[in-house]
Chains A and B, each alone.
Chain A
Amino acid sequence: DAMVIQNPRYQVTQFGKPVTLSCSQTLNHNVMYWYQQKSSQAPKLLFHYYDKDFNNEADTPDNFQSRRPNTSFCFLDIRSPGLGDAAMYLCATSRSLLAQSAYNEQFFGPGTRLTVL
């Protein structure tokens, strides 16, 4: 019963070559999030969508963009990957955007590990 699916699980790209990571969900949740997790560090929120409304974290580099064409899919685009962008990228969903909601549990996918050569 896959709920949050990330493809591919492993992605290799070249320095400066645009890359797109994908996430899909079968939960019909309103909110989708992208996190970056570098080696031995905690996940760091990049941005989220509430339906079609996009919210970028203040310190997310401009190099990172996102698209959400429909409820089920969300994409992370890295326009010009640098060596420092090598990381695990985690997609998550939740029904609610409010921390105090009973439906605020976030469901994470398995992640895509990005290698930049």
Chain B
Amino acid sequence: DAKTTQPNSMESNEEEPVHLPCNHSTISGTDYIHWYRQLPSQGPEYVIHGLTSNVNNRMASLAIAEDRKSSTLILHRATLRDAAVYYCIPQTGANNLFFGTGTRLTVIP
């Protein structure tokens, strides 16, 4: 499985955009890049995933570098409810999630 590097923590002001980076330089050509987040005292929840192209959904956008060695999760307007640990998870083959250490996002009112 590809190794990932994410900042341990980040802060954002409420209502401002947040860019959460992930480095996955050992990713294979068939690995999808998944993002999950875990709010305090809850189970993880799916955010977004992609392979090569940038992806958008109602929660976030995912920007994938052309060489696929890194990606950035973009929250367009951070709210207090977005305070969570964000996990970047490359996956291929079986749909098993191997979580790394993630980035703890703090949103400042």
Contact residues of A with B, CB < 8 Å? 4, 31, 33, 35, 42-45, 48, 55, 57, 90, 92, 94, 96-101, 104-111
**Minimum CB–CB distance for B32 against chain A, Å:** 5
In the complex the two chains form, what is the Cα distance from A35 to B44 in whole Å? 11
In the complex the two chains form, what is the Cα distance from A44 to B45 in whole Å? 15
**Tally of chain B residues near chain A (CB < 8 A):** 27
> Which residues of the partner chain A approach B102 to less than 8 Å between Cβ atoms?
42
**Minimum CB–CB distance for B19 against chain A, Å:** 21
Mark B76-96 against chain A: 1 for CB-CB distance below 8 A, else 0.
Answer: 000000000101000111111
A94 and B95 form a contact (CB under 8 A): yes
By beta carbon, the residue of chain A nearest B98 is: A45
B92 and A99 form a contact (CB under 8 A): yes
**Minimum CB–CB distance for A116 against chain B, Å:** 20
- Of the residues B46, B51, B100, contact of A42 by C-beta under 8 Å: B100
- Of the residues A33, A98, A105, A107, contact of B93 by C-beta under 8 Å: A98
Known: A42-B101, A109-B43. A97 touches B87 (CB 8 A): no
> Which residues of the partner chain A approach B32 to less than 8 Å between Cβ atoms?
99-100, 104
**Minimum CB–CB distance for B7 against chain A, Å:** 15
By beta carbon, the residue of chain A nearest B100 is: A42
Known: A106-B46, A108-B43, A108-B45. A42 touches B93 (CB 8 A): no
Known: A42-B87, A42-B101, A43-B99. A99 touches B43 (CB 8 A): no
Known: A92-B43, A106-B46, A109-B43. A45 touches B51 (CB 8 A): no
- Of the residues B31, B87, B95, contact of A104 by C-beta under 8 Å: B95
Interface pairs (24), CB distance under 8 Å = A4-B43, A31-B95, A33-B97, A42-B87, A42-B99, A42-B100, A43-B97, A57-B96, A90-B43, A92-B44, A92-B97, A94-B95, A97-B94, A99-B91, A99-B92, A99-B95, A100-B51, A100-B92, A104-B34, A108-B42, A108-B44, A110-B42, A110-B43, A111-B43
B30 within 8 A of A: yes
